Copies of this chain bind each other. A is one copy, B any other.
Amino acid sequence: MSQFAGRDAVAPAVMVPDFPDLPEATVSRLPEYLRALHQLAQLGHDTVSSEALATAAGVKSAKVRKDLSQLGSYGTRGVGYDVDRLVQQIEQVLGLSQRRNVAVIGAGNLGHALAGYAGFPSRGFRISALVDVEPARVGERLYGIPITHLDDLAATVAAEKIAIGVIATPAGAAQQVADRLVGAGVKCILNFAPCVLSVPTDVDVRSVDLAIELQILSFHEHRRTRSALDGVTDGAVPHPVSHTPARKVV
């Protein structure tokens, strides 16, 4: 029932998956579209224009059309895209028709927050395991999820069919935890520890460093403050400075 069956028929026989080899930037926007589409569906919309979808997802409409055309979805002029069909298609491409089990390593504050995050189950993920090294924590349950010891990681990964490992430990422990996840056969890692992980090329790592997000915001705040000050020292009236898009240097 693949949407891309025709593609498979003409493609080389070996190792061609039933969805296209999408650019990374498109892949990273598909979850945004999916979130917006689910909201639209809840509000009773059957169809959506590329403009409305763009606004809901926070991108430009031309980008929406280009991204979706790469999935083979072109919409209907004057009508837009069928919401249900597009949801199914994006979920298929992202592999969300099958629920993925997640292990969170580190049952501290961040581990608590992740384990209790209500948004995961509805979006294709189940936190199936919490892992720690603190004797006081191991054996406890958090939101019904048992906390197991890091030394038992391989057994936990096998028993719970873990597809994704989330590292929520201090930076000093992160590489060792990554090595153990890789050793247990986990190929996808989401890293919250503020450090760069070294992993084999067939393992995917995404990193979320909270201080880095703040530092990027700090740049904009700094630029804005300086611009306003420059205005003052030049005798101009201080006023909020709206951003020009970052200049592209090629």
Contact = CB atoms under 8 A, between A and B. Distances in A.
Interface stretch (A77-85, A148-156, A225-233): A225-233
Q: Interface SS of chain A: helix, strand, loop or mixed?
A: mixed
Given A14-B231, A14-B236, A113-B110, A247 B23 contact: yes
A206 B216 contact: yes
Contact of A164 (B14, B56, B190, B218): B218
Interface stretch (A43-51, A131-139, A173-181, A238-246): A238-246
A226 B8 CA distance: 12
A190 to B, nearest CB: 5
A66 to B, nearest CB: 8
Interface string A178-203: 00000000011110001110000110
A112 B117 CA distance: 13
A120 interface: yes
A144 to B, nearest CB: 15
Contacts of A196: 32, 36, 56-58
**Interface size grouping (class) on chain A:** 35 or more
B123 A242 contact: no
B15 A231 contact: yes
A249 interface: yes
A211 B91 CA distance: 13
A92 to B, nearest CB: 9
Contacts of A204: 217, 220-221, 243
Given A18-B226, A187-B221, A188-B220, A123 B215 contact: yes
A23 to B, nearest CB: 5
Given A124-B215, A204-B220, A206-B216, 9 more contacts: A27-B246, A28-B216, A35-B212, A112-B112, A112-B113, A113-B113, A119-B194, A164-B214, A187-B221
Interface of A: 13-19, 21-28, 30-32, 34-36, 56-58, 70, 93-96, 98, 100, 102, 108-110, 112-114, 116-120, 123-125, 163-164, 170-171, 187-190, 194-196, 201-202, 204, 206, 208-227, 230-231, 234, 236, 240-249
